[in-house]
Structure 1
Amino acid sequence: MGDRYLVLAGGLCGAAGVALSAAAAHRGGGNLATAASFLLVHAPAFLALAQLEAGRLVRIGAFALLIGLVLFAGDLLFREFLGTRLFPMAAPSGGTLMIVGWLIVAASAFRRR
């Protein structure tokens, strides 16, 4: 995943997080607030990862984070707005993938350049 895509992901996550925070404040709903929180926390992370002169391992970790975030937040939003799940176990799978992504990013610190 290129640096531009990480910046794009950070910007979109930030915008979505702010919009969902506003929706949660006006409409209520724990799923909205949780999705917004996760989006807002990961937005600057994607921007920071884009600034690293990092190798393939960081890019793999960032990609895992992004897919996990889409699954997790997407499932919460499906539940909130459509009353159904994205697919069975989408949120737990997304959460697990985010954990794995962060561990891959952490492991990249020990990789030789």
Structure 2
Amino acid sequence: MTLWTRVLVVLAGLMGAAGVASAAAAAHVGGGSNLETAAHFLLFHASALVGLCAIDLMLGRGRVVLQLGASAIALGALLFSGDLASRALMEVKLLGGSAPFGGSLMILGWLTVGASALVARRA
């Protein structure tokens, strides 16, 4: 397993934990639909990252493209969810345009993951 893949798995674990914590906070503390949406995005994309890392382990050619896509998904989900959570819990925007930029980055990441299949070969 490469260092890049290990970092992605660590991020997936942190995103999953943050997703569970966000869902619990939304249910017990409040925060409304923004916090629920942040929780959903963190949980869904954490699971997806683990799956993408599993595919990564089987690839020879196309691995870097897949890793780039997975990295964009991770960063996008963190920006998107972080912005929504900060709005819900602290009534503060994370950075100007973090949610739309994060969402766009996730879309680009998923397109990159799809494109990786066009060049992928088993190791």
TM-score with structure 2 setting the length: 0.85
Aligned to 2:37: 34
Amino acid paired to 2:49: F
- Contact 1:3 / 1:51 at 8 angstroms: preserved in 2? no
Which residue identity does 1:35 align to in structure 2? Answer: A
Q: Does 1:8 align with 2:27?
A: no
| Structure 2 unaligned regions, length at least 5 | none
2:51 is aligned with 1:51: no
Q: Tell me: CA distance 1:38–1:110, structure 2 relative to 1, closer, same or farther (3 Å).
A: same
1:76, 1:91 within 8 Å by CA — same for their partners in 2? yes
SS at match of 2:96: coil
> Counterpart of 1:24?
26
Question: What displacement does 1:27 show?
Answer: 2.0
Identity between Structure 1 and Structure 2 (%): 50
CA offsets 1:81-108 (integer angstroms, 9 cap, x no match): 2212112211011000000000000111
In 2, Cα distance between the equivalents of 1:18 and 1:83? 21
Moved more, 76-85 or 101-110: 76-85
| Separation in 1, partners of 2:92, 2:23 | 21
CA-based RMSD: 1.3
**Aligned pair count?**
113
Q: Could you tell me which of 102, 106, 109 is aligned with 1:94? A: 102
- 2:94 aligned counterpart, secondary structure: coil
Structure-1 residue corresponding to 2:119: 111
What one-letter code is carried by the residue in structure 2 that aligns with 1:40? L
- Letter paired with 1:12: L
* Structure 1 unpaired stretches of 5+: none
Q: TM-score, normalised by structure 1?
A: 0.92
